[in-house]
Chains A and B, each alone.
Chain A
């Protein structure tokens, strides 16, 4: 996937003008928020349930290296093969190698955010191995070469006409139809044939359990189950922060994940794999490969504040509640992760310099923080990134602001600390500022502050300050 995080402003403008996206944004987030409320009502004490989730992820991060070792030991004991990859390239090359060695012509894929991050599909295609995304939304997004609009509904905003056309062209749709259900069934038939004969399946991992060496997938469509049941070879790719200590912890996280995400008490399918199939089983993989991907996470892990971002379980509650996401949708964020989730993760994974607009595109209202089931403090993270960026932090590649800005704020700091200087300054700039006013209101201004006034008004400055009037009154 091409990374377009630098084009945030441009893409956001384009999306604001996209009537299909905005129609969906009026509908989808409120519905999901309502469903979330219903889903969470199964807990007798919702804040306690969420706080418990936060503690589980906090502990998992504090104990990350030992949990990974324990997970690996148990996964191997279950018969899985574990491969560690420093970066996207190592992970992709390894998976490509596995596919080549087995003479695989195509693979089916279950939704996996980390392989979107590593760009696995591109490499497989270049090497003549077709990667079929099998989650319906991902399938449509893949055919259209689009990034995900929403982590749960990657193509939910795509008009049916467009789905019809692309299915006619590429997915054996015979009779044109605009019925979403008929379109869905066309995709079912097309992908069913892929599942039937697939030699190798690739999935992501929602949670990995250290004490049993188990990997868990959460889904509604059944495509991940097919991908883990039909083929001889299964490859499951996990970013290294997915691990938790116990099965009990994992279950609580899954409760939180599904109830915060779609409001379902549980998704249609939750499958827990502990090694390849055993002797005598007619389906399930003969070999199970688990790829543990770093791709920048050990670097994030060194920074205690940045580490908080690694708690994320990708439930998307923060997207649905976010007033910014609610206006612009997922495309503007320019990569696999959108909404506050992406604003927290991308700057650390891609560098502060490539994501400058992401952590600034926030009102810091804290709605995201208020719904997060694992206790991520998004506004605090945004402020942290902003300060690192302004200071030109080399570790996370802060860009540093222009010298002129620094000079301005130094002068400003000095002026506001000295009343005589402040008063002098005010008396000098007042006429320049007030000449922009109309009926006591300034609604536009030329020069460096033009942007600020684009969407805001400001009253004109009083011709006499309070201090001036006070002096006069005393006379």
Chain B
């Protein structure tokens, strides 16, 4: 029997001359590792603002809801798609929506991919999600995708509003990655780092936001 492509490729690679492994040169730790909590918040905010993200800091969940209402009013939001993740759960966005006279949809309202896609592409004026991590090093959010964090909520609507408790702020990517990928049986189907809104510079180098995904990213930092 002819060897499969897999066997053939691996066999060729294994038969190739061996090479020793170069030692890893020492690398000084990233500067973020020595920052205090307030400094980390400052760095996170500065770096995200560089990428045109908007960051609001609030004291607690109550203030977070007020901020959310303020944003909804300023943007004239009528219909939003919200995730059902653990960060958002205590906010009870469904009641918040009723009080503020706007419709809050969640991916759970939809029986299948098609109907969910129709709503998130065509109806939702904003996507609201919690974030599992905020990373100071580059002003980045980390989202674990699972049944309570559908992928398209933070992607398809033109505005993405993310809520992050400050306890979830880490200096660099490694601690976040360690938590997400540390236990093999718990690795999510997708994990995503988000640093600012969708952007491009592909026509004449003119930078603009909102190429395919959100045009704006608003982060509410709680605590």
Interchain CB contact under 8 A, B30 and A43: yes
Give, as a whole number of angstroms, the nearest-CB distance from B169 to chain A: 15
Could you tell me how many residues of chain B have their Cβ less than 8 Å away from some Cβ of chain A?
79
Interface centre among A31, A140, A183, A283 (most CB of B within 10 A): A283
Please, which residues of chain A bring their CB within 8 A of the CB of B203?
A: 136, 140, 155-156, 158, 160, 163, 180, 183-184
Question: In the complex, what distance in Å separates the CA atom of A221 from the CA atom of B155?
Answer: 10
Interchain CB contact under 8 A, B27 and A31: no
Interchain CB contact under 8 A, B152 and A230: yes
Interchain CB contact under 8 A, A269 and B145: no
Interchain CB contact under 8 A, B152 and A283: yes
Which segment, of B10-18, B65-73, B95-103, B126-134, faces chain A? B10-18
A90 at the B interface (CB under 8 A): yes
Number of A-B contacts (CB under 8 A): 266
Question: In the complex, what distance in Å separates the CA atom of A253 from the CA atom of B155?
Answer: 25
Question: In the complex, what distance in Å separates the CA atom of A85 from the CA atom of B4?
Answer: 9
Chain B residue nearest in CB terms to A51: B25
B59 at the A interface (CB under 8 A): no
Chain A residue nearest in CB terms to B201: A153
Please, which residues of chain A bring their CB within 8 A of the CB of B150?
A: 281-283
Question: In the complex, what distance in Å separates the CA atom of A298 from the CA atom of B137?
Answer: 38
A28 at the B interface (CB under 8 A): yes
A180 contact from B51, B117, B208, B213, Cβ within 8 A? B208
A264 at the B interface (CB under 8 A): yes
**Per-position 1/0 for B118-144, Cβ under 8 A of A:** 100110000000000000011110000
Interchain CB contact under 8 A, A266 and B200: no
Please, which residues of chain B bring their CB within 8 A of the CB of A228?
A: 151, 190
Interchain CB contact under 8 A, B24 and A55: yes
Please, which residues of chain B bring their CB within 8 A of the CB of A240?
A: 9
Which segment, of A63-71, A122-130, A447-455, faces chain B? A63-71
Between A and B, 7 residue pairs with Cβ closer than 8 Å are A65-B10, A156-B204, A180-B206, A226-B152, A265-B47, A273-B190, A282-B116
Given contacts A54-B22, A86-B9, A221-B212, 11 further A-B contacts (CB under 8 A): A48-B26, A137-B200, A222-B211, A229-B152, A232-B113, A268-B194, A273-B190, A281-B146, A281-B147, A282-B116, A294-B5
